[in-house]
């Protein structure tokens, strides 16, 4: 039985990687998925891939760092769909540079994409999310823990984790749940070079309880749960999907 029949779900950053797998999983469970991206060619490839799998899908093309563009895109989305039942804030950017090398503008860009954009989308779309709506923010294990040479991403994801709790407190009275998922090391296209590095594979074998990279498809179950009626009393929490990275030492 498809738990999301009749629901409309917007997944940002869904042209590839975890976002595309999330879109595929929600569509397979009955949702109409709106896949977002900022590259039209990539987004069209993803759309055709989803249609071939039987998905009901449409697209939203916009750079979320562009405030005016986002305003118009949200207006267009609401005009087309009427309401948004599920919002998955997955779009993100990374800039792995140490403190001495990352400049103020680059730091702000990371905050804009990874933290300000999810805040802005929730603010603009909340009037069109009904009672029982679901918001899921894709954060990172880089939120609660840190490593040298990655201050901007860590700060942004830590902020998104805190924003999740704040939004859950504010939107709970409307029956909207807000949760987060913190992925660990997933073998996505963006991590291709790292996946091919045997030293990182050896590190994950020792550092994670499951001893391996995550398959992008393994993110879907957690998102589906939080978006489904089964999670109606779950809000303000962050679920780590990390193969045991945070709990293993």
Contact 223, 239 (CB under 8 A): no
Helix axis angle for 17-28 and 220-227, nearest 10°, is 50
133-142: b (≥16 Cβ within 10 Å) or e: bbbbbbbbbb
Asked about 233 being catalytic, the answer comes back as: no
Alpha helices for 142-191 (secondary structure H)? 151-171
Nearby residues of 32 by Cβ (< 8 Å), 6 or more positions away: 7, 8, 9, 56, 57, 58, 81
Distance (Å, whole) CA 155 – CA 150: 9
Of the residues 112, 140, 142, 153, only one is catalytic, namely: 153
Report the run of H or E that residue 71 belongs to, with start and end.
helix 67-81
Instruction: Say if CB 74 and CB 12 are below 8 A apart.
Output: no
Contact 88, 11 (CB under 8 A): yes
Please work out, in degrees rounded to the nearest 5, the angle formed at the alpha carbon of residue 140 by the alpha carbons of 12 and 232.
Answer: 70
Six-digit token pair at 212?
């391996």
With H, G, I as helix, E, B as strand and everything else as coil, classify residue 246: coil
Catalytically annotated residues: 153
């Amino acid at each position: 039985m498809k738990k999301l029949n009749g629901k409309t779900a917007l997944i940002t950053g869904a042209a590839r990687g975890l976002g595309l797998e999330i879109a595929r999983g929600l569509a397979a469970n009955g949702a109409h998925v709106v896949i977002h991206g900022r590259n039209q060619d990539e987004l069209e490839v993803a759309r055709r891939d989803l249609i071939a799998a039987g998905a009901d899908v449409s697209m939203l093309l916009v750079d979320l760092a562009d405030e005016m563009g986002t305003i118009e895109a949200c207006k267009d989305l609401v005009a087309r769909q009427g309401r948004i039942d599920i919002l998955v804030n997955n779009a993100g950017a990374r800039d792995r540079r140490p403190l001495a090398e990352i400049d103020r503008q680059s730091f702000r860009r990371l905050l804009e994409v990874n933290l300000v954009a999810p805040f802005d989308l929730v603010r603009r779309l909340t009037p069109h999310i009904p009672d029982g709506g679901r918001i899921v923010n894709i954060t990172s294990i880089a939120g609660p823990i840190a490593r040298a040479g990655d201050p901007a991403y860590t700060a942004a994801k830590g902020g998104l984790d805190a924003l999740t709790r704040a939004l859950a407190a504010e939107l709970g009275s409307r029956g909207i749940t807000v949760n987060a998922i913190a992925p660990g090391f997933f073998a996505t296209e963006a991590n291709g070079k790292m996946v091919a590095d045997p030293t990182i594979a050896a590190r994950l074998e020792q550092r994670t309880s499951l001893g391996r990279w995550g398959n992008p498809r393994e993110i879907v179950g957690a998102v589906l749960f939080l978006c489904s009626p089964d999670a109606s009393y779950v809000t303000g929490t962050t679920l780590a999907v990390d193969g045991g990275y945070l709990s293993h030492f």
